[in-house]
A and B are shown apart, each in its own frame.
Chain A
Amino acid sequence: MPKDVTDVICPFCGTLCDDLIVTVSDDNKTILGVKNACAIGAEKFNHQRLPGRVTRPRMRQADGTFKEVSYDEAIDWTAKMLVKSRKTLMYGWASTSCQAMSIGHEIAEKVGGIVDNCATVCHGSSLIAIEDVGVPSCTLGEVKNRADRVIFWGCNPAHAHPRHMSRYSIFPRGFFTVKGHKGRKIYCVDCRYTDTAKCADEFIQVQQGYDYELLNAFRTAARGEALPDTVGGVPKEKIIEIVEDLKQARFGIIFFGMGLTHSMGRNHNIDIAINLTRDMNDFTKFAIMAMRGHWNVTGSGQVLGWQYGFPYAVDLSRRDQARHQTGETTSVDLLNRSEVEACFYIATDPGAHFPVDAMISSSRKPTVTIDPHIQCTTEISDLHIPVAMVGVETGGCAYRMDNVPIETRKVVEPPEGMLTDEQLLTRINHRVDELLAKGGA
């Protein structure tokens, strides 16, 4: 008899929905169906039973093909690579558990690695802004129960975080928001008319690359100072009207995404949006939140932040100190400048997301990729070590985009004999210890 597992956490996007129902086969080995998840979330679970999954490590041979090797061989190869390399990029972490990250960081401290996560090509600029000016934020529960003015700036949850709007930001009825959608005024600021814009009461089309100027104009208007006739294509009357409406809010929230973090000025766009939020708190209660992408990229920032004081791009190569400099210790810069000697990728796919030059540089270095599936990066690696899918075949802690930790659940057994990230990293860590005790690789 197939059975239903309830309250399953979705390990796909930063919304980290916690109400999924997953039907599993009698023998606990196969997922038969997923309820409540959006299309992209359901697909993550469906991947579990796709035929052709790799279940043992694969090592690149001289002729370019892959040969299956044992976990022991793979662990030994990885540990030797890490011990030998003078500077290693250890990138990824966004799709694994916080427990696995902490073991990875222990290895990085010993081998002098540089630990970086997906924020480096995503919300890293938001993190820089937060380092510079702090952040007045809140939880998604507060948004659901209190927010009556919601601004989506340069983000498109309709596609990237499909259940965000129904669970938290537009439609739900909360304690002080009993009218649901009708009691909220939704703004969408974007350079394109997105599907999120279609759900908004008001769409403000900003000229591409003028977000900083427009946010500056909002702040200037809030202080009652004069404005030019238009800013970024938006008339000054509109800017003043919106600012006056925001001042009337009982609780306002700005959600922002790649439209701010990856357009001209990057961190400065977030910085000034945070400062607008601060200004609005002179009149009412206002908060701001990054729409974090990978389900546990926030967790990686939390664990790194707690251990070393920086949320990403943490350089431990000098071992007696942790350093962090976007532009220097960030993955793409390290690869483009060829500042590292080896690459260790886990729980992400830089091959699909990094600039081509960076990946060409990466492909020339010894590379290990730890990931449940075959993906772009595994194909340019010397060694691919498959592991169980975290949040599906093993549990572990993850942080939602609002920095709330949620323990994910195991719903099915991983394939016979397959290691989890935690088990694999623990064994690599031991092998590194052995090699260091012997005096090197």
Chain B
Amino acid sequence: MNTVTLTVKNAPELFLECENVNTDAFAGKKADQIAKLGAFQGKEITTLGDYFTITGEAGATAADTKIVINGDCTKMKYIGAKMTAGEVVVNSACDMYTGSWMKGGKLVVNGDVHSFCGLAMAGGEFTINGNAGNYLGAAYRGDWRGMSGGVLRVKGNAGSDVATFMTGGEMIIEGNVDIHLGTHMEGGKIILKGNANRRVGGQLVKGEIYVFGSINVMMPGYKPVRDVELEVDGTKAKFTEYLGDLGERHPKRKGETVYGHLYMKQ
């Protein structure tokens, strides 16, 4: 695997759209070719070379390419977005759309990410070693398909509207979340190690939510059904299982209605 290192040399004045900073765009390119890839500040079209010092060269394919980014990326959007393979490590906080529409590979952010990260993620591994903003792993505005595959892990807290319209994959939040977790969920698995504010699993059709901490106000459409012993993300514990959201439509499989499941650690 070949490594390309990007070091921020000029901070953008507005926000920089870095949709070319991913393994797929870099694959098969040398440092000088990468430096010529477009970067956008509003209507101004510049190049990655205007903002980064670039060393090393990419592998022949995305899978053979690793990108390491150093320097302040807090004003950079779309890092690692749409990547399909390979590895990206960002040693900074990032702005919006980091890792969105990701299909494969590994993305690690050693810092916080802003809102709309991991949107509609379909595969791969996305790890945030900091906090995440709102709409983590949710759907793009107006779309009804949020995260559908892969593993998204946040070491810190996440904001509100996390995993809206999630249809598959696994999300682990080690800290707390604000309101609206898993709204409109149609599949997949959310593991929340901390507490949720309110409105967990509202309008949820299918899928599983595991909560280790507490929920400030439980949705009226959830009903406790039984106690279960489970091993969740390496922790064995006793959980209370709820069915829900009973106010939402639910599909039938083999004549049986399929509900969503919420597990609260006892």
Interface residues of A, Cβ cutoff 8 Å to B:
85-87, 111-112, 128, 131-132, 212-213, 216-220, 222-223, 225-228, 231, 264-265, 268, 271-272, 275, 317-319, 324-328, 337-341
Contacts and interface: CB of A to CB of B under 8 A. Distances in A.
A228 B242 CA distance: 14
A100 to B, nearest CB: 23
Nearest to A317: B42
A227 B141 contact: no
Given A216-B219, A223-B246, A339-B15, 13 more contacts: A112-B42, A212-B202, A216-B247, A220-B247, A225-B221, A268-B202, A275-B203, A318-B40, A318-B43, A319-B43, A326-B141, A337-B15, A338-B14
B87 to A, nearest CB: 27
A217 B247 CA distance: 7
A268 B180 contact: yes
A162 B165 CA distance: 38
Interface string B219-231: 1110100000000
29 contacts: A86-B14, A86-B42, A86-B43, A112-B43, A132-B142, A212-B202, A213-B219, A216-B203, A216-B219, A216-B245, A217-B220, A218-B247, A219-B248, A223-B246, A225-B247, A268-B180, A268-B183, A268-B199, A271-B184, A275-B248, A317-B43, A325-B96, A325-B116, A327-B115, A328-B116, A337-B15, A340-B42, A341-B14, A341-B42
A131 B142 contact: yes
Interface residues of B, number: 35
A268 B44 CA distance: 36
Contacts of B141: 128, 131, 324-326
Given A128-B141, A264-B179, A339-B14, A225 B41 contact: no
B180 A265 contact: yes
Best-surrounded residue of B14, B141, B180, B183 (most CB of chain A within 10 A): B141
A271 B220 contact: no
A270 to B, nearest CB: 12
A224 to B, nearest CB: 9
A223 to B, nearest CB: 7
A374 B17 CA distance: 38
A228 B220 contact: yes
Those 10 A-B pairs whose CB atoms lie nearest each other, nearest first: A87-B42, A112-B43, A219-B247, A131-B142, A86-B42, A220-B247, A225-B246, A217-B220, A317-B42, A220-B221
Contacts of B221: 216-217, 219-220, 225
B144 interface: yes
A214 to B, nearest CB: 8
Given A268-B180, A275-B203, A87 B43 contact: yes
Contacts of B116: 325, 327-328
Interface string B117-141: 0000000000000000011000011
Main secondary structure of the interface of B (DSSP, over half): loop
B197 to A, nearest CB: 9
A377 to B, nearest CB: 22
A338 B115 CA distance: 16
Contact of B217 (A85, A213, A327): A213
Contacts of B184: 132, 271
Nearest to B250: A223
A57 B99 CA distance: 47
A328 B114 CA distance: 11
Given A318-B43, A337-B15, A216 B220 contact: yes
Contacts of A327: 115-116, 134-135
A271 B165 CA distance: 13
B247 to A, nearest CB: 3
A218 to B, nearest CB: 8
Contacts of A339: 14-15
A31 B28 CA distance: 72
A87 B41 contact: yes
Contacts of B247: 216-220, 222-223, 225
A112 B14 CA distance: 14
A272 B203 contact: yes
Best-surrounded residue of A265, A318, A341 (most CB of chain B within 10 A): A265
A313 to B, nearest CB: 9
B224 to A, nearest CB: 11
A229 to B, nearest CB: 10
A439 to B, nearest CB: 14
A130 to B, nearest CB: 9
A220 B134 CA distance: 28
Contacts of B40: 318
A227 B135 CA distance: 29
A226 B224 CA distance: 11
A231 B220 contact: yes
A281 B205 CA distance: 19
Best-surrounded residue of B14, B203, B221 (most CB of chain A within 10 A): B221
A228 B32 CA distance: 65
Nearest to A86: B42
Contacts of A271: 184, 203
B195 to A, nearest CB: 17
Interface in B31-51: 40-44
Contacts of A112: 42-43
Interface string B136-160: 0000111010000000000000000
Best-surrounded residue of A132, A216, A272, A338 (most CB of chain B within 10 A): A216
Contacts of B41: 86-87
Contacts of B44: 86
A422 to B, nearest CB: 25
A217 B203 CA distance: 11
Given A112-B42, A223-B246, A216 B223 contact: no
Nearest to B198: A264
Contacts of A328: 96, 115-116
Interface in B3-48: 14-15, 17, 40-44
Contacts of B165: 132
